[in-house]
Structure 1
Amino acid sequence: MSWIFLLTFAISEMVNGCSTKANQIVRCPPGVMTTVYALEGEHARLRCRLCISSTCHAMNDLQAHGSAITWFKELHENGSIELIGGAGRFTVEGFLLGFWPATLNDTGRYFCLFSNGTHNIMGENVTLNVTPINESCYTEELTYERDADIGTSIELHCPQIEEYKNNKEDLTWYKDCQEYIYTGSSLLFNKLKKENAGHYTCTLTLEHSGVQYNTTRTLALTLKEPPAKPNLIYPLEERIEVVLGENRTINCTAFANSTRSLPIQLNWYFNNSHVATCIRAKSVCKDFRRTDIKNNGRYTIRPLVFTQIKEEHLNQIFNCVLTTSNHAVSGYIILQEKGKSNVHGVVTLLTSTIVVLVFVAIVCLYFHVQIVLCFRDVTGRDDTLEDGKEYDAYVLLLESKKTLLDIKEEQQFALELLPAILEKQFGYRLCIFERDVPPGGSSADNILAYIKKCRRLIIILCEEYLDNQCSSTYELMTGLYQVLVERKIKPILIEFKPLSSPKLLPESLQLVLKSRRVVKWKGNETILKNSYFWKKLRYLMPAKRVQRAKHSQHNAVL
């Protein structure tokens, strides 16, 4: 039966309604057409789309007022049409025609006819293209392309799935047909990486008459490098020799290694103001911008034109500024008269650099002790860990054979003040023979054994030692042997009272003096723990990270 005859027959059966053209069929324009793709053996769904927005009834009330949707398929071999009923493999639900499943023979052009007794409206043509399943997990005809830039965010939606909007949350996503990714309506990538490129397949499973059918789409995600950030390649920091009176053109040039780069602005500035364009004759102006495409890259050029170089242009800064939507960079040129380079500026810069370096060296030399102590405190450096030593320093007072009253001041310093500061304030552990070595046993053996347990040898030297025979000679010789011969301990020489004739000291002590490991006691003002004497002494002692003890009685004395 010819489709024209069928439609004419349908019109003849209509009853006059609200429209004066009730006996006419409202058709969509010939060019209005939709194509739906499906895989052989899967479920397909077509929607009836009418080309008129309103009738005597609202479109969403058509079925409620007794309207009906009828589907037809064109038979191309003889120009006839075939009525598609809601039975067997086909279902008609409202505006939807369902295939359970779609076969290769279903490929063709379909249209729908809406009739409510007064109106007869033909819907747009819908082409169903059923593709056979091949060995690959996806079919090129059902693969949709999507491009994105690496590093951007993107949300992938299953293509041509609008007719299943009520089932979108049941979509199952796979990558390259193997890796299960997610179940849901879409895939979200917060920041795309190269490995995210590939084929993403979304599958929806529906049940009909106890049988499950799939609807599958594949989306090919292609990733590209993000648009290149343009760079200013000339000028950067340029000094150009010129001749007064000549004309000169200087090109500010920006380059992007991709034609997809961000749009840019390129401008010349002088004295924080735009250089005027070369519309009127000026001694200096900027010409129009031009763009060159070379080797898949884009060069943007903005000329700065000097029609006549004047003295007022010399030694002045002309800035070229490259600006994009997210960054800006600038370079500059300085014109110099030929043969008169800026030697004075170079000399000034060199002199300033030397002065700064000398100043820094003097500061470092003068405050060397304070700098080292500050570095130890900040870094928590500790040289006393795991070295097998029990004491931080062995205290040796070179006592003369004078009366006890004459050496009382030195003994008080060695036995009381020195431990009070170093031990109680800074956490060091001192070995004092009179205090820490138990009585009994060989004195010589005890001295050697305890010196070997120490990291430093503190020698307290006074003037009387030069004129009198020392009662601590063995301790001194034993300690200096460890310092100068064995090199297992470092010396610290405290000059308790000024020495008038250092050359009278034994040669071994003179060597210690030359090593500059000497601290001079200057009197009562040095009892303050933050004085230079104690800082220098701490500098010569091993670095140690300690919890400083608080002794209220000792603080009261200080």
Structure 2
Amino acid sequence: MRMMRMILLLTESVLVSYQSNSTVQCEKFRGKTVRVRAGESLYFPCPNTDCYEYTEDRSYDWLRNLSRMKQLERIGTEESERVHYHKSVLYILRLTLDDTGRYITRWYEEDNCDEYETDIVVYEEFNTDLLYYTVPEEKATTISCPVCEKQTGRFIWYKNFSLIPNQEFKNVLRIRNSSKESEGIYTCVCTWEHNGLKHNTSGHRRLIIKDQSRTNPPVFQIPVNNSIVTTDVGTELILVCSVVFVCDECCVRWERNKTTLNEEDGYKQENRIKDGNVQSFLNITKVSELDLLSEFRCKTEDSYRVIFVSITLRSRASMLPVILACICTFLLVLVLSGIVKWFSLDLVLFLREIFIKFSRKEDRKLYDAYVIYQRNNSDETTSKTVSDFVNGSLLTVLESYCGFKLFIHGRDDLPGEDCMNLIETKIQLSRRLIIILTPGTSSISPTAYDLQVGLHQALVQGETGVIVIQLGQMQDYTHLPLGLQHLLCKNNPLLWRDGQTSPTSRFWKRVRYRMPVASSHQRRSSKKRPLECQSLPV
């Protein structure tokens, strides 16, 4: 028997002298006072919201210092014990008066330790001190149960200790058409289960219906409720709350996740009052990832009510996607512009083939172009080049493939006709003039009659368009007539090189672009042309 007593004394000594096995210095926070009734049970979570919610990779110690004890006592984790804890929740089953004392929660997170102190007072019977804080209402609509906020249970409601029927399983009591008769003490009894046994916890609120003529409610100027503020992790942030009061005793404070913020947590609050307008500033020294997951509330209360607005923080969106989108858009526009520029000639020719030639009015012109070239050239090489081009590529592409009707001397004139009269008539019946230039000092004689008539028709009367085709390179154009030099200053000549015989080449597309639409006579005879001339690829 004596041996057993010694073992009990040693065990008690170890428990009394117990301090946390961690060597980390804990940062202390003073908590609230919890008042409960004997015979009931208490489900008490860690008083800090983060301490209660974020339990992964965290460890806890619960200790108590009862009024009859001089040193701390460690609370165990065995569910068979009347007083035990599980992670961030303390269980005191079937409360007794001896359970009155100070309870300490130590929350370990890596190298940090936070310590929260809470005073628990057990009353033998109902006492007005058990009433939870209530706010006078002008017209109350609901009363929430002050217990079992973070656990599941069955609820029963009483008014002035008389049962209110048909209110089971509801943690909020709805009051319809509230008036002065609705005043009284409302009690909710929460029944919850733990380790196979049922336990009761009660909470009491006093409802006071205030005179509506007493005061006006506070009005928030900024911020708007449920507003979002963008910020960056690790930066300093100041939140501003402005409230208009019409009362003498009013206060404004900031909360995070329904928990009052303390300056030692890295948050600093400052209030400024001027002409009934209260401005409250919350300075967040360093925005953390946890802040982005939290709800900040600016809470104001006067003698009768509590009102708040909520703010959430959101990480500022990265500018990288926007920059990449702008770069991609710019490159796309650049590529499309290049494609449009390269194929613009083809597009114009394609659309002209579809629309213009079906809507063009007849102008009584007989020829699409009158060809002017040096017919008598002392240079055999130049003469052969001109002859091969005019009688070869020019006729093959423009007439055979594209359906244009050309007038060419030596082919379309009749023997014995008056040459001058013929030239004037044929140029007047032509829509374009095609002037062929060749290298040399006498490519086209300045006194050539058809050139003089054509330039007069184009420059003076403005009735005929001119297309200048250059065969080979030329150093300058000073040897050409002044009228022709003027035309060359306005439009560069089209340079033809040997081998450009395909109607789909760039050179012939540019010629077609300056030519009119093929005459109706040629369109009616298009069945005689090869397939390529009927639908020239673009």
TM-score, with normalisation over the residues of structure 1?
Answer: 0.37
TM-score, with normalisation over the residues of structure 2?
Answer: 0.38
